[in-house]
Amino acid sequence: MVPTPRAVAPDLVECVLDLAAEVPPGRVTTYGRLAVEARLRCGRGSARQVGRIMALHGDQVPWWRVVTASGAPAERVATRQLERLRAEGVALRGARVDLGAALHAFVLDVVPHDHEDEEVDDA
């Protein structure tokens, strides 16, 4: 008996797609990095869930900007993905993205800490 894949919560789908949409042309992110950002912003998310979301809903965002941790494109769309990445000027090393040159850095909104209430120890 083959297990039925569990559905991904709609709010997690929205969160992951919003994050993927933040990656600008010429940059990429990885499934794992998207998962980390999803956990920070939305409270949950794994690389497998991100992969599933991108497979099912990635056509709503620039899906080609999400690659594996090694910089390799997704197997089932590798040719199209590499063509789109080349067209955007993404740094490649063979058939992999040069993550050192092209990895997008997400900006996390940080709430400023109010230091007025803290006591300062001058010791």
pLDDT in tens, 46-105: 999 999 999 999 999 999 999 999 999 999 999 999 999 999 999 999 999 999 999 999
In this prediction, what percent of the chain has a pLDDT beyond 90? 79
Q: Which CATH architecture has domain 10-102?
A: Orthogonal Bundle (1.10)
Pinpoint the alpha helices (H) of the chain: 10-22, 31-42, 47-57, 78-87, 99-102
Which distant-in-sequence residues (6+ apart) come within 8 Å of 64 by Cβ? 73, 77, 80, 81, 84, 85
- The whole-number pLDDT of residue 107 equals 85
